[in-house]
Homo-oligomer: A and B are copies of this chain.
Amino acid sequence: MRALIVDRSVPAGLRIGEVPDPDPAPHQAVIRVTATSLNHGEVQYVREDAPQDAVLGWDAAGIVEQAAADGSGPPAGTPVVTLGWSGAWAEFRAVDTDLIGTAPAGAEPAALSTVPVAATTALRALHRLGPLLGRRVLITGATGGTGRYAVQLARLGGAHVVAATGDPAAHGAGLRELGAAEVVTGARDLDAPVHGAIDLVGGSRLVDAYQRLAEGGTVVAVGHSAGADETFPYGAFFGDQGRHDRSVTSFFLLGCRDLGPDLSWLARQVAIGTLRPSIAWQGDWHRVGEAAEALLSRRLHGKAVLEVGRPLV
């Protein structure tokens, strides 16, 4: 089959080449991939550390080509969204059946491919905040793919959503359309504490978010795009004066359990339009270099999606 192969000798770091078809374990289905979305972390990894000739990729939408031998997971022919540590950037992917969600027939592959990492991360990070209904929730880095899902999902969960972005003038209207009740440049601009925050930036943004938590509140540290230390000034971790039980916690999607039903539910919401995928760039997988460049340069405010293997069909 063809796949995007790590190749540091080309500018993009990735080239389309031939590799062996995947050899599924008994608890894995094989998926014919139709679209994949790129995530900042994996693209950066290609540039920096990934081993030559590896086939990477976390997110893939497609159709089940071959069901799992152990009987788990959906039958052949089912449209699915899939999540894994590698293998998404290929015509076929072997994937654990507990990391597969089913999608409604006829759903748009490009839209579905944004679900596995971005939407599921947003959903599970929000779960970590406790009840959302009627609570104030801050989303930092709200204009990225995960941020836009977090804004929408927090709103669907009944929260009063405050979206933070470096450029409210440019993005405020779009974020409000997705469900933000307020758009600010950062936690320092808040006029009242928040019960929870999903931080997609790190560095001083995370620290500022922590400092504006209400008692019992939590910041979930999801994204780290600032690439900076987090310095909490002396006193930040005091608990008196309404600051008891305020926490910051790390997050890793593949450290979460039972993702399958959530993948299916999210795929369905995208298919029926309850959630918008916020695709900022879409193109054939031959244009992966262009997409990666746009993503890393932070020119994109949403997801980048590659159509995979289409010429074959």
Contact = CB atoms under 8 A, between A and B. Distances in A.
Interface of A: 25-26, 123, 126-128, 130-134, 153, 156-158, 202-203, 206, 215, 218, 221, 224, 227-240, 243-252, 254-257, 262, 265-266, 269
Contacts of A158: 132, 153, 156-158
A237 B230 contact: yes
Contact of A262 (B123, B127, B134, B203): B134
A285 to B, nearest CB: 26
A103 to B, nearest CB: 15
A250 B236 CA distance: 9
Given A132-B158, A156-B158, A246-B250, 12 more contacts: A127-B131, A131-B132, A132-B132, A132-B133, A133-B153, A134-B265, A215-B255, A221-B237, A224-B235, A238-B252, A245-B249, A247-B250
6 contacts: A25-B26, A133-B156, A134-B266, A229-B233, A230-B236, A231-B231
Contacts of A232: 229-232
- A interface SS class: loop
A234, A256, A262: residue with the most chain B Cβ atoms closer than 10 Å = A234
A309 B269 CA distance: 50
Contact of A237 (B123, B248, B254, B266): B248
Contacts of A249: 245-248
A240 B252 contact: yes
A229 B229 CA distance: 12
A291 B294 CA distance: 65
Nearest to A70: B25
